[in-house]
Structure 1
Amino acid sequence: MALACFCDKFGRKILTCFRFGNESSDIKPVRNSCMSQRYVIDDLDREIIRYLSEDGRLSAAEITSRIGGVSERTVRNRIAALLQAKMIVIGAIPDPVALGRDVQVELIIEVEPGQVDEVAILLAEYDEIGYLAATSGSSNLSASLFVADHAALLEFIDQELGKLPGVKRVTSSVVLRLYKVFGTRTSALSRGTDLGDRKKG
């Protein structure tokens, strides 16, 4: 049994108890403060997250068999705790290539002072934008753009980005090869490792 402290939407402290199973490894330490409360990830959590990152459809039983030395109940409880703490989200991630968007482009966007949020709200409405974040440095926003071809890229930058209010400058870089996505190594990285081994031999 573990005692946890949460804050509701009005900022009031709420104490509640959780039963994560009989194994001592199921119980995670919780700080007695709403502001500082944080789920503490250990090596078992990292292993579970790694397998779920590779295939989010894996069951607790399948993950248990791959890890070894841990019970299925513990794995199931850890997954539930990670989800409850919002440390992971299990869902479907669309493949842009399968959707006909073969060209991925990294965008570095400089905006007018004080208009970062306004520009971000406008950009987030585009389905072609797969990732969007505010950044430090000389530019203000970083984004990943997925389009069908180079003609579509030119049209998006010229007709859409170029006309957005608040956008000062856009720098684009076409992604040639992905080596790691969402913490998972791609087949391209595996090919690079094999090539390096052959050169050493």
Structure 2
Amino acid sequence: MAKRYRPHEIDPQVTALLSENPRLTNKAIAAQIGVAESTIATRIKTMSENRIMRVVAQRNFFTTGYGIAAWILVEVSGDDTSAVAEKLATFENVTGIGLVWGNFQILAVVAARDYAALSQFIHEEIDRVPGVKRITLDINLRFLRGQASFAEIPEKPDMKAIMAMGSTDEQITALLCHDGRSTNTRIARALHISESNVRQRIARLLESGAIRLSVVSHGTGSSEIGFVRMAVLPAKLKKTAALLLESSKVAHLSLTTGEFNLCCILNCTDRDELTRFCTDHIQCLPEVVDADVSILVKGVKARTDFFPPEEPL
């Protein structure tokens, strides 16, 4: 059983370093921060066991059976916003749900096989959820950045389900989705295969882009998250996207179709920083003709088991 989490002053530094390089060794992290290697090992273990921060593997989005992803903002009729969000969260292809403050009350991320499947899901499922008054849809055309950042930390893996999977690669990936820093020895022992087999398979999965390692965290870094939709002059879209990609505050950036053609998620330390970023880096740009900001109030669901492959501008 995990001990009660007590924050340590180096936890944000450890998280930041692992976010830059999830495969960084404890020894390298210790050298950069200036503490003992055993201290780093303890902090990573403590944060992982308490589901505060963990390195996890993520599958390539386009290898999971999905072909498109969309942002959906929901306006709710009545006062039972939480009940509507909880209902939407029960759908498997709703990969993220958050309660937001702004022109809408709920932000959902929806994955679908194709446009026909997305349309069917919206009209036959979302539109029929009691309390859904109106929605707006922004379909991702191209992912420019897609960091895991804040999401649900996986529970203990279901070994019975993992052992029933059809291939060794799937089994290894499932274990890494729970703990991306699990050793080859530990994985080999769990699957009853050789350590060299595990090492070769992980190397191949990473090199092929089938999986990547990322940090998911809660409570050690940003505390204010904003979802920003922008209508940018088409001729200036590439330039605007490049400017936003220069900032580490931009955790996600994608080209979209709809009323807005550029969407991003901002990870900021507090409301003031979020406000300053929107004012100084978005609204001041003459090529941004309109912008809509929703501030995350509460996360309801956020899957970590896949990632959107990033494409260069």
Map 1:81-160 to 2 at 5 A: 81-83=46-48, 86-160=51-125
Report the 3-state secondary structure (helix = DSSP H, G, I; strand = E; otherwise coil) of the residue aligned with 1:101. coil
For 1:118, the aligned partner's letter is: A
Q: Which residue of 2 aligns with 1:167?
A: 132
SS in 1 for 2:95: strand
> For residue 181 of structure 1, what is the amino acid of its counterpart?
Q
Write the letter of the residue equivalent to 2:90: E
TM-score by length of 1: 0.61
Matched residues, percent identical?
Answer: 26
Is the contact made by 1:61 and 1:72 (CA closer than 8 Å) also made in structure 2?
yes
The Cα offsets for residues 7-55 of structure 1, whole Å up to 9 and x where unpaired, read as xxxxxxxxxxxxxxxxxxxxxxxxxxxxxx9725x4x423321343456
Tell me, which stretches of 5 or more residues in structure 2 are unaligned? 150-213, 215-240, 247-313
Task: Identify the match of residue 182 of structure 1 among 148, 156, 171.
Answer: 148
Q: State which of 15, 26, 50 in structure 2 corresponds to 1:60.
A: 26
Q: d(CA) in 1 for partners of 2:125 and 2:21?
A: 35
Decide which structure has the larger Cα Rg and report it. 1
Alpha-carbon contact 1:130-1:143 (below 8 Å) kept: yes
Match of 2:15 in 1: 49
More off after superposition, 71-80 vs 174-183: 174-183
Alpha carbons of structure 1 residues 50 and 163: separation in structure 2 relative to 1, 3 Å: same
Q: Is the 8 A contact 1:109 1:141 kept in 2?
A: yes
| Partner Cα distance (2:29, 2:115) in 1 | 41
Q: Distance in 2 between matches of 1:90 and 1:174?
A: 28
DSSP-derived class of the 2:107 partner: strand
CA contact (8 A) 1:39 1:85 kept: no
Q: Bigger relative contact order, structure 1 or 2, given CA contacts below 8 A and separation 6+?
A: 2
Q: Equivalent residue for 1:39? A: 7
3-state SS, counterpart of residue 142 of structure 1: strand
Structure 2 SS opposite 1:97: helix
How far 1:178 moved relative to its partner?
3.6
Query: How many residues of Structure 1 are paired with residues of Structure 2 in the alignment?
Result: 152
Moved more, 144-153 or 81-90: 81-90
Larger proportion of strand: 2
Distance 1:53 1:130, change over 3 A: farther
How has the CA–CA distance of structure 1 residues 134 and 93 changed in structure 2, closer, same or farther, with 3 Å as cutoff?
same
Provide the secondary structure at the position in 2 that maps to 1:39: coil
Residue range with higher mean Cα deviation, 90-99 or 115-124: 90-99
